[in-house]
Structure 1
Amino acid sequence: MDSPSAIESPATAGTAPASATSPLKRAFERIFTRHLMNIAILMALPVIFTVSLNPARESMRDPDIWWHLADARQLMTTHHFIWTEPNSFTVGGQPWVNPEWLAELPYWFSYQALHLRGIYFAEWVIICANLIFLYWRGFRRSGHAGAAWWAAALAFLLISVNSGPRTISIAYLAMSSELAILEAYKGGKTRALWLLPPLFCIWINLHGSWLIGLALFVLYILCGSFEFKMGAIEQEPFAPADRNRLLTVLAVSVAVLLINPYGWHLMWNPIDMMSNQKLNIANVMEWKPLNLSTAAGVSAFAAMCLMVVANAFKGRKWRIYELAFIFFAWYAALDHMRFAFLAAVITTPFLAVDIRRGFNLSSDEKTIPAANAFMVAAAALVILFIFPTEKNLKEKLGTFFPMQSLEQIQPSWRTFDSDTVGGMMAFLAKPDFIDSRFDIFEHRGVLGDYLKAMYLVSPLEVFDHYRIDHVLVTDTMPVAYLLKHTEGWTIVKSEKTGEDVYVTFARTPGARAGSSIVGPTNK
């Protein structure tokens, strides 16, 4: 395999001796390598094809980023970590920890510097960082830039399922770092293993996916604890010194998880998600099984088929941990569509190896710096051309959120809102009924009541229970139809946003939410 510096230096096969080349030409060739071209093209892919980054599609629609920004604003203005729910009138003041506080800060600082363009820029940089990291890991493992690029390009299609200004995108950089460290350790760099404890110390403050990373580390140790040689699997057990080193690093990694502002509460958070948030998992689209008819589903199926076909053409020896990682990744992606991103992070380097070996790709060391420079310039122009202005993003924001309706909400109102606008209400410092966090709302029974209202199980009773005096929903929602035909409720605001029309209902003073329903003849 090529040395680590191979990704930074162009191949010089077939070129004139260095002494016969001008310094300017040598610098040009050193800069415009095949790797720079591949990376530039990868960086252009998100702004062209990602739904959340292409300004012509759904930029600024993500409902989560707004309550993340509200949380980050509170942290940076009060200089105190959040210990109680700060945004809603339903669970406000109840104990709550912010498990993603550190991953919120890059988006907050970007927003402070560049406003809406800052959110867009931060999302693009983080997605590109993931793609470049996957490309680098694929190249390090396969030694072939072309194979690494195709594997990373396929990974981009999987990543798109979690596209958006998401904190988990930052956490997946931590997961890539963990897997790169384990690869370095397997390659004989034993000291690299000690990078894992500080990595986990940071990771637990980024996102609850640290638990998956810890599980992968445990799986790595378990799978390497015994000898197994049969068919395509060939594995030697860890030497006693290696096993002791791995166990020591694991113990230290677990211990440093307590280095966070919330202590054991943050360690419990992802476990609580798995065990105590059934409504959350059942009602959020990203927790649904992967739909194979979507772009991400087709890409996942293509990646799995490609790995099978490539190994059928020219198989290789596998270690048990490699198979365990791959099986886990694809199972997780098929069971929950949001984990297609995770599958990309885990499987891309293996896929790069399979592409090179399975299809007998010849060396791609020869390169044309001038052609590389042209492609880099073309990718840069595409990015600059598509990159939106602040005005464009403000206009786009107004096609997804009823900004005028939200602005008119008064602090004293008890507004029942859909979860898609709750985060924006929190960002605008408007008290909301619910937002897309769901965790604390499920624990306090609010999520269950929200679903009862939205699915017309007992909406009027819910409004009575929470003393709701205003309702903000789209006019196509069942609860909107109900309120149009219920005495005591009137529409005080209607706002067109893209394909939706948001209506604000107000309860007539003195009327109960559960007033009688008016029949069609009395409308």
Structure 2
Amino acid sequence: MTMSATHSAEARRPLQGLLPLWGGVVVYALWFAAGNALLRDPDPYWQIAVGRWILDHHTVPTTDIYSFTMYGQPWISTQWLAQVLYAIAYAGAGWTGVVVLAVAALAVTMAVLTRFLDRRLPATATIIFVATALALMTPHLMARPHVLAMPVMVAWVAGLVTAMDRKTAPSFWLLPLMVLWANLHGGFVLGLMLIGPIGIDAIWHTPASAQRKMLLRWALFGIAALAASCVTPYGWDSLLASRRILNLGEALALIGEWRPANFDHAGPLELTVLVAFALALWRGIALPPMRVVLVMGFVFMALSHVRNAEVLALLAPLVLARPLGERIGFPDQPAAPAPSSPRGWLFAGLALCLIAITFVLGSVQRYAPVATGAPAAAVTELKKLNLSRVFNDYDFGGYLIARGVPTFIDGRTELFGTKLMVDHNNASGLMEPDNLFRLLKDYEIEATLLRTQSAATKLLDRVDGWEKIYSDDIATIHLRKPGALHSVAPAVKAN
């Protein structure tokens, strides 16, 4: 029996070491082939523009320089490092470079997750968790800073959970990850918040005689992590910026990714939650109390804002892996052996294959953001007018920044605040028609650049004082005529 178990472990060890590698390679190849799916959002335009500005000026922005409504107001970019990386990738290889960078980050994320799970769960369970994670993440997988921060997030939380599993304190070698995360994306605040519950679990399961010492070690680590998160060009302001975003209230509900989950349809998130609930009832899965708190917290985050599905997808498996592995009698596997000569050749061969795939697909496939967020022809006509006060559609803001046109509003929601966001939404959608004419008057708007099919565009087609000078399938420009009245009861042309 002993000999059989030994041979089984030895036979599995090569698979254990290679599963993360194969997972990363497959994810890279699949998502690079579908790279345009990562560019379906207009935000990369302004993210790259900010990164280019940082490279050109060798500093980070502290005030708004892109809009005319908030010009000169305090604004910081907590994603500055990711924006610089995207700007460098774009300068080197255009949108193909942006896709390669985002897909590489995603592949590393899944490889790190697979490596952690593969040492605690059977290969089949690991693959199921990873496949489910990809399905949950897909709606929010876009070439934006949060994707570059994903591998750091997984590695950070994996380090904390490993310490929890071993009933010890985290290594201070994790702190550089927090520094990197804090400069890549504002989500680093979650990493700080997780220190508390994970530390409580580790202390709880430590022998009573050693709990005070363990508490001190976790407290020191927490203080050090907080200090590490402030190692950014903005210092403490990076922490405050995340708070400002979460305090936007009803403005967040206007942005699709910040809306709560909708159980009116069966999407990946809804199905995952329901299946997990069914399995828990069927198999009677028991978890330690703090792990229950953590998993429920991830579920709550995902249900509150659909963009947080990636938190549930990537972090819940880390917390669940050890208890599930113990329940099915799967012992923790030792670390993968150091790369041998055959493994080294395999790694080199796979690297060459990925490079070849990148060059082949990059040369035959055209990568570009979705055209509906980039009204190129309309903006070209708009720039000929040399105007400085244009009332634009929210989704056009990123492209306007990239083209050097001052925006009325754009994707930097925390800058514009709740009131302006809500007013703009109600005006462009005509939920409150008076708002449209009030904003046009108060901000001395010279022209509008709105979606051709929007309600506001249809109204301006019939309002005296506004002339349609350009229109295509994406955007329409209305130019204010001299002496136009921006009243709450405008004259409307008869059909």
Report deviation, 1:125: 1.3
Instruction: Summarize deviations over 1:163-206 as a string: whole Å, max 9, x none.
Output: 10121222332221222212332455968521233332232222
CA contact (8 A) 1:460 1:513 kept: yes
Report deviation, 1:255: 2.5
Report deviation, 1:30: 9.5
1:260-279 equivalence runs, <5 A: 260-275=232-247, 277-279=248-250
Aligned-residue RMSD, C-alpha: 3.6
Q: Residues 383, 308 of structure 1: CA spacing in aligned structure 2 closer, same or farther, 3 A cutoff?
A: farther
Q: Which residue of 2 aligns with 1:323?
A: 292
1:339-418 equivalence runs, <5 A: 339-350=308-319, 387=361, 389=363, 392-394=366-368, 397-398=370-371, 400-410=373-383, 411-418=386-393
Q: Residues 400, 388 of structure 1: CA spacing in aligned structure 2 closer, same or farther, 3 A cutoff?
A: farther
State the distance in 1 between where 2:105 and 2:322 align: 25
Q: Which residue of 1 aligns with 2:229?
A: 257
Choose 68-77 or 321-330, whichever is displaced more. 321-330
Match of 2:428 among 435, 439, 454: 454
CA contact (8 A) 1:101 1:205 kept: yes
| Other structure's SS at 2:147 match | helix
Report deviation, 1:141: 2.5
Q: Which residue of 1 aligns with 2:3?
A: none
State the distance in 1 between where 2:190 and 2:71 align: 30
Report deviation, 1:481: 1.1
TM-score, scaled relative to structure 1:
0.79
Q: Residues 509, 519 of structure 1: CA spacing in aligned structure 2 closer, same or farther, 3 A cutoff?
A: closer
Q: Which runs of 5+ in 1 are unaligned?
A: 1-9, 16-28, 228-234
State the distance in 2 between where 1:32 and 1:210 align: 29
Q: Residues 211, 291 of structure 1: CA spacing in aligned structure 2 closer, same or farther, 3 A cutoff?
A: same
State the distance in 1 between where 2:216 and 2:45 align: 45
1:69-468 equivalence runs, <5 A: 69-142=48-121, 144-186=122-164, 188=166, 192-226=170-204, 239-275=211-247, 277-292=248-263, 293-301=265-273, 304-305=276-277, 308=280, 311-312=283-284, 315=285, 318-350=287-319, 387=361, 389=363, 392-394=366-368, 397-398=370-371, 400-410=373-383, 411-442=386-417, 445-456=419-430, 457=432, 458=434, 459-468=436-445
TM-score, scaled relative to structure 2:
0.83
CA contact (8 A) 2:178 2:225 kept: yes
Paired amino acid for 1:417? N
Paired amino acid for 1:393? Y
Paired amino acid for 2:11? A
Report deviation, 1:117: 0.8
Q: Residues 310, 363 of structure 1: CA spacing in aligned structure 2 closer, same or farther, 3 A cutoff?
A: farther
Q: Which residue of 2 aligns with 1:19?
A: none
Report deviation, 1:482: 1.0
| Other structure's SS at 1:473 match | strand
Match of 2:11 among 5, 10, 13: 13
| Other structure's SS at 1:176 match | helix
Q: Residues 42, 397 of structure 1: CA spacing in aligned structure 2 closer, same or farther, 3 A cutoff?
A: closer
Report deviation, 1:210: 1.6
Over the matched positions of the two proteins, sequence identity in percent amounts to 22
CA contact (8 A) 1:198 1:253 kept: no
Bigger helix share: 2
Matched, 1:484 2:461: yes
CA contact (8 A) 1:484 1:490 kept: yes
State the distance in 1 between where 2:173 and 2:332 align: 33
Q: Which runs of 5+ in 2 are unaligned?
A: 1-7, 335-342
Equivalent residue pairs, number: 469
